[in-house]
A and B are shown apart, each in its own frame.
Chain A
Amino acid sequence: MAFDVDVRLRRGEKVIACAFRSDSGIVALFGPSGAGKTSVLDMLAGLVRPETGHVAIAGRTLFDASVGIDLAPAVRHCGYVFQRPRLFPHMRVRANLRYGRPRGDPEGGPHGLSQHALIDLLGIGGLLDRWPWSLSGGEAQRVAIGRALLSNPHYLLLDEPISSLDHTRRQDILDMIARLHAFTAIPVVYVSHDQRELDYLGGTVITLS
């Protein structure tokens, strides 16, 4: 079982609840803005603690309120690509990419994909010596994806990773995510409010309202 998730959180008046079990490697969270999609990802990453429920991904229990399990984000091995890239502004692209490396294998890349192959796949080989402020939105987002993957994550969380990009870039990144998943078989949770993206990527669709 790739995903066994049941989380619940109260945010003021609103209750954010999301439950799904899936063997499919890609799960898409779909719903209008404000439905709590990002909050669900934050709960999967351990950045926000659900009030009740449990989270098990790729056979590992990360959170279980009933037995008091709550792993810290740092030990969940989660590759989180946020809605905005959140690159570290005081580090060059190379150092950003390396930030999660100590956890990963120093030589190889994630899931049998070599580090160089990943950088090629993302098309960021020419950006390694650049500063984050000099990158375009699309470049920054691809670096953020690379940084998350190079930390050798057990699962990948993508929060509308292409919403801020223009149309040609969107298709590039979508292709890349599909290729990545085909290469690595890493479980992915993908957040979007665009039906076309979900049709393209396939997988299980969970609708939040």
Chain B
Amino acid sequence: MTWGFSADEWVIVGLSLKIGLVAMLAMLAPAFALAWLLARGRFPGKLLLDTLVHLPLVVPPVVTGWLLLLLFGTRGPIGGWLANWFDITLLFRWTGAALAAAIMALPLMVRAMRLSITAIDRRLEQAAETLGASRLRIFYTISLPLALPGIFAGAMLGFARSIGEFGATITFASDIPGETRTLPIAIYSALNSANGEATVMRLALLSIALSFAALILSEYLARRILVSDHDHGV
């Protein structure tokens, strides 16, 4: 035992961090692409896409989990295809828990990134254009670096949301010790067991501490966006 955590509890913490990290990293590129599209794009169906991206924020998580079951279950269209061709199963695996966490984290990540893309001063991109830069070079040298605080803020938010995910995860990936039993799921099962109070207390405090750290970092980065927006002499 270290810091009062048992070996089982350390497994839970490690699994939660792994799932949170994988979910966040996997969503980084898609979230940025969606944020860019929603911030800059003009296309029919934009409102629909915007709504779809935000849906996991308001739909009951158990419904999201059930939809994942339908799609990614062994007989679902995507799940069956993955099983047949790649021998990959997500159901009841930690990868499935990461998928559920990723879907739930997506809206928060897109929101933070979109905000920072909207905050980019388009006149700087114009200046780069008159200096002979191609669209690609402008993206890599101007737009992307200026959006970076928002990308980090979105990543931190997504990570925090992922390690807190409960409803969709327990519906889709179930509660399997060492595989899908993350912090919130462990807290829930400890609550339901006879002598679980001490475990609940320890794990609850830990998840509060983790969320606190991630949120404070994300807020700090979000503020950097506002500061750089008001830079004098630009």
- Chain A residues within 8 Å of B134, by CB: 74
Pair A47/B129 contact, Cβ less than 8 Å: yes
Query: Which 5 A-B pairs have CB atoms at the shortest separation, nearest pair first?
Result: A100-B131, A103-B132, A140-B233, A86-B127, A80-B130
Residue A94 CB within 8 A of the other chain: no
Q: Is B70 an interface position by the 8 A CB rule?
A: no
User: Closest approach, in angstroms, between the C-beta of A95 and any C-beta of chain B?
Assistant: 9
A residues adjacent to B (C-beta < 8 A): 45-47, 72-80, 82, 84-90, 99-100, 102-103, 132-133, 135-137, 140, 147-148, 151
The complex places the Cα of A17 from the Cα of B206 at a distance, in Å, of 67
Provided the pairs A47-B126, A86-B123, A89-B228 are in contact, do residues A102 and B234 lie with their beta carbons within 8 angstroms?
no
B132 cross-chain contacts in A, Cβ below 8 A: 74-75, 77, 100, 102-103, 151
Q: A132 near B127 (CB under 8 angstroms)?
A: no
Chain A positions within 8 Å of B133 at CB level: 74, 99-100
Chain A, Cβ-Cβ closest to B133: A74
Q: In whole angstroms, what is the CA distance A46 to B130 when docked?
A: 8
A-B contact count (CB 8 A): 73
Query: How many residues of B are counted as interface, with CB atoms below 8 angstroms from the partner's CB atoms?
Result: 21
In the complex the two chains form, is B131's CB within 8 Å of A99's CB? yes
Add 6 more A-B contacts to A100-B131, A147-B131 (CB < 8 A). Answer: A76-B130, A86-B124, A86-B234, A103-B132, A133-B231, A151-B132
**In the complex, what's the smallest C-beta–C-beta distance from A195 to chain B, in angstroms?**
28
* Most B Cβ at <10 Å: residue of A45, A100, A136, A147: A100
For A90, the chain B residues whose CB sits under 8 A away are 145-146, 228
Name the prevailing secondary structure of the B interface residues: helix
Q: Of B129, B145, B228, B234, which contacts A87 at CB under 8 A?
A: B234
B126, B131, B142: which contacts A103 (Cβ < 8 A)? B131
Contacts of A76 in B (CB 8 A): 130
Minimum C-beta distance from A146 to chain B (A): 12
Tell me which residues across on chain A come within 8 A of B146, comparing CB atoms: 89-90
Cα distance, A74 to B131, chains bound together (Å):
6
Interface centre among A47, A73, A75, A88, by most B CB within 10 Å? A88
Residues of chain B with a CB closer than 8 A to A86's CB:
121, 123-124, 126-127, 234
Pick from B129, B130, B141, B232: contact of A133, CB under 8 Å: B232
B203 CB to nearest A CB, Å: 41
Roughly how many angstroms separate A76 CA and B129 CA in the complex, as a whole number? Answer: 10
Interchain Cβ contacts under 8 Å between A and B, 18 examples: A73-B130, A74-B129, A74-B133, A76-B130, A77-B132, A86-B234, A87-B233, A88-B124, A88-B142, A89-B228, A90-B146, A99-B133, A100-B131, A103-B131, A132-B231, A133-B234, A136-B233, A147-B131
How far is A151 from B133 in the complex, measured between Cα atoms in Å? 10
A132 to B233, CA, bound (A): 7
In Å, the complex CA distance between A151 and B232 comes to 24
Closest to A143 in B: B233
Give B138's nearest chain A residue, CB to CB.
A74
A96 to B71, CA, bound (A): 50
Residue contact A133 to B233, C-beta cutoff 8 Å: yes
Q: Of B126, B130, B234, which is within 8 A of A132 by CB?
A: B234
A166 to B131, CA, bound (A): 28
Query: A82–B233 Cα gap in the complex (Å)?
Result: 12
Q: Which residues of A contact B121 (CB under 8 A)?
A: 86
Bitwise, B204-234 to A at CB < 8 A (1) or not (0) is 0000000000000000000000001001111
**Which B residues touch A87, using CB under 8 A?**
233-234
- For B141, list chain A residues within 8 Å (CB): 88, 99
